[in-house]
Structure 1
Amino acid sequence: MYARSTTIKGDPGNIDAGITYIRDEVMPAITAMDGCAGMSLVVDRSSGQCIATSSWRDEASMHASGDRLASYRARGGEVLGGTPTVEEWEVAVMHRDHQTSPGACCRITWTRASDLDGTVEFWKSRVLTQLEGMDGFCSASFLIDRAGSRTCGTAVFDSQAALDATRADAARMRETATREMGVEFLDIAEFELAIAHLRVPELV
């Protein structure tokens, strides 16, 4: 499984218009394309940052959709008031405890790792196990970019309060990953889960 993420840092006042555009126009178009396995959208209403992620059954399907989606990305940038940045990933881990409900929030962590396969195994055996024990945990995914030696880990929780309660534990997990795996943390951000329509199968 593969994924393409499109990030736009726009005007916070345009977030609701952006959600409407992606839900009503982009999602029906993209989910009708061959090989698409759904999409999601996370938003930060304070910064205006939005990340739309589409999932694909194989790399060929993802690449074949690129040109067809260019006009949607351009229009999304206009609606949100920012420039789209596109990244492509391999889906290494996907695990769901239960379906999300309105109000769900997530923490996304981007890293650089010299040993990608070892980092995936660390994430499966150590990070995911700890996430499953946290109150309000919904789901988690771990994406990798082999060419850039980067990773993108997402943990989704039932509410902002549940997410807030995990911050200290998350910080300790990051310290462990740095100490044991030499992982370099590039960015960490928290978002509202505005659209949850990914249909990636369980990958653990």
Structure 2
Amino acid sequence: MFVRTTYATGDPAKLDPAVRALATDGKQQLFQEPGFRGAGLFVDREVGKLMTGTWWEDEEALRASADRMGELRARMLTDFASTVTVDTWEAAVASRPASVGEGARFRLVRLSFAPAEADTLAGTFENDVLPRLRDMGGFLGGSLLVDRAGGRGVVGALYADRDSLAASRGPVAALRGQATAKARATVQSVEEFEVVMVEAVAPS
């Protein structure tokens, strides 16, 4: 699968109307798109950050939706966003819950790596990282998205609530250090978000 992410920042006071629009009208439009396979919506209300991820069954579906999704972003984010960054990724490893409960949290880790090491990173995440994450209380699912040519990646992990996210910080920091050393990757940033929505759509 392939994923398009949108990362927007702006005035925290203007965040909630954008979130409501994306979670209602935006969600409705997405479900009408050919090849759409799910979405996530994550926010940091204090700072004024918003991130979305939309999942597509293949690269063709992702590309075919680009213009319509661009129009949707412009309509939904204009009043809130002062900066908007859009990226596309290959889902190298994905363990996605069908949905999450109220109060769920999300951790995002940005990585850089030598393009030749993409498969090493994917293997490390699938075989070393995910099994240990699954043993942690409150872990719901996680994915590794990569831009092979650009040597960039993001790891997203979902937790059931604020407490399980907080309890995971120490163990995950140690695991992150071990995994990035093995995969010869570099951590660029770590962020945490409130989960507004996670939806997964089974192939028809």
Shorter-chain TM-score range: over 0.9
Paired letter, 2:69 = L
1:43/1:104 Cα in 2 relative to 1: closer, same or farther (>3 Å)?
same
Indicate the residue corresponding to 2:188 in structure 1: 186
**Matched residue SS, 1:76:** helix
**Matched residue SS, 1:83:** strand
Mapped contact 1:98–1:139 kept (Cα < 8 A): no
CA distance in 2, matches of 1:122, 1:55: 22
**Matched residue SS, 1:82:** strand
**Match runs of 1:124-203 below 5 Å:** 124-199=126-201
CA deviations 1:140-190 (Å, max 9, x no partner) are: 111111121111111111101110001111111121123222211111100
Unmatched tracts of structure 2, length 5 or more: none
| Alpha-carbon distance, 1:31 to partner | 1.7
**Matched residue SS, 1:148:** coil
CA distance in 2, matches of 1:86, 1:162: 29
| Alpha-carbon distance, 1:99 to partner | 4.2
**Match runs of 1:19-168 below 5 Å:** 19-96=19-96, 99-114=99-114, 115-168=117-170
Unmatched tracts of structure 1, length 5 or more: none
| Alpha-carbon distance, 1:77 to partner | 2.6
CA distance in 1, matches of 2:159, 2:9: 23
Tell which deviates more after alignment, 114-123 or 63-72: 63-72
Pairs aligned (count): 201
RMSD: 1.6
CA distance in 2, matches of 1:65, 1:96: 22
Paired letter, 1:95 = S
Mapped contact 2:98–2:198 kept (Cα < 8 A): no
1:99/1:196 Cα in 2 relative to 1: closer, same or farther (>3 Å)?
closer
CA distance in 1, matches of 2:21, 2:95: 28
Indicate the residue corresponding to 1:16 in structure 2: 16
Spell out structure 1 runs of 4+ moving beyond 4 A.
96-99
**Matched residue SS, 1:135:** coil
Identity of aligned residues (%): 30
| Alpha-carbon distance, 1:97 to partner | 6.3
User: What TM-score do you get using the length of structure 1 for normalisation?
Assistant: 0.93
1:99/1:27 Cα in 2 relative to 1: closer, same or farther (>3 Å)?
closer
CA distance in 1, matches of 2:200, 2:10: 23
Paired letter, 2:149 = A
